[in-house]
Amino acid sequence: MFANKAPPKKVLLIATQQIGDVLLCTPLLKSMRMAWPNAIIDVLVYKNTSGILAGNADCNNVIESDNHPNLSAYLKLLKTIFKQYDLAVTSQGNDRAHQYAFLAGKTRIGLIPNLKRKHWWKKISCKRWSLLEEDNTHTVIQNLLLADLMGINRQYELTPPNLSSADVLPRLNQLLNFSFSDTAYTIVHPLPMWQYKRWTDAGWIALIQHLLDKGHQVIITGGPAIAEINYGENLAKNFLGSASGKVISLVGKTSFAEMSALLTQSKLYVGPDTATTHLAAACGTPTLAIFGPTNPVKWAPWPFGYHQEKSPWQRFSSQYQLVNNVMLLQGRGVCVPCHKAGCDNHNNSHSRCLDELPAERVIEALAVLLKYKSAAPLLTLV
């Protein structure tokens, strides 16, 4: 698109999505930075997700928006972005993202949800567009289709948040009862945002006990919600006594940049379908991702060092899949993955495939991951 034209001087990437989605946009952001090293590249995100871009050298400014802005907040945002950019790129197909792109950029590129008549104005607004594909295209690759439309080279690496050691080390050493840079530990992230992605309490207890029996120091992590904090503290209480101090809950206590530093040093990470699992994979940490209803072809973590134009993952394996530093373990069932929000198709639904996933399968997969974590790149076992 810009091959025979002057490169854009100011670019806005619109990624008003959830935390994991923003992280999965960073290869597109890096592609833009590598193509236009002198451009000002800003990223528009929701306030609660901006921390995932902390220290990201590929963007000049992070512009924050409320998830549901009132009139005052909307006018303030409009004043910041209105006709300020040569190019606006939206990594999603919803109406508001395309409205922001129309208001901000002289030229627009974006994703279109489908070819239904109601989206006609998005196709007219965009200089170039690509259809959003929900089943067979990984989100990283979906985003990089926009790089193709811009005529720039794809970059496949995710960029975790990154701050200097001086910014994160004192805080982490304060939170822990050991020096995190000198002690081997495993991170367990048990609670996703939604019930339908959850594994069982008994499963996590059995897994942590297994890790303790193998001599691991265990750190439990999670988000700032009260329910997550209480869950992490109660889970750690199961291991008081002889294991006192060997299981620590940091749920709700770390920023994204601090979490990134913890993950980079971690011997191992185990977690469900959640943003932190994507972050663990991006940090190069040996990662065991526990999946149930979610389609892994589209949403499983992007393995560190994976640079191919197809999804790393198959739709289902009755055993496990291992690509680079990430092992994907799915619950079993003829319906897996159903692509629904659990068996009752709502966020607070249970998922039988996860409820019936025994701890023995997770522990067995963990042993395989530890055995192969130093294997050559692009090792795939199914």
Q: Say which residue the tokens 């291992």 belong to.
A: 322
The answer to whether domain 10-150 has CATH 3.40.50.2000 is yes
Residue 57 burial (CB count, 10 A) = 9
Specify which residues 186 forms β-bridges with: 218, 268
CB-CB neighbours of 150 under 10 Å? 24
Is pLDDT at 375 greater than 60 in this prediction? no
What per-residue confidence (pLDDT) applies to 169?
Answer: 85
Cα–Cα distances (Å) from 223 to 191, 198, 326, 354, in that order, read: 9, 14, 22, 21
Please give the C-alpha separations between residue 9 and each of 28, 41, 60, 65, 216, in angstroms, as whole numbers. 17, 8, 12, 23, 50
Name the band, by pLDDT with cuts 50, 70 and 90, for residue 88: very high
CA distance 126 to 146: 12
pTM (2 d.p.): 0.95
CATH 3.40.50.2000 occupies which residues in the chain? 10-150, 165-381
CA distance 336 to 340: 10
Three state DSSP letters for 220-274 = ECCCCCHHHHHHHHHHHHCCCCCCCCCEEECCCCCCHHHHHHHHHHCCEEEEECC
Q: And the tokens for 223? A: 């988000």
Instruction: Please compute the mean of the pLDDT values over residues 278-292 and round it to a whole number.
Output: 98
Q: How far is CA 202 from the centre of its chain?
A: 26
Fold of 165-381: Rossmann fold (3.40.50)
pLDDT in tens, 319-364: 999 999 999 999 999 999 999 999 999 999 999 999 999 999 999 9
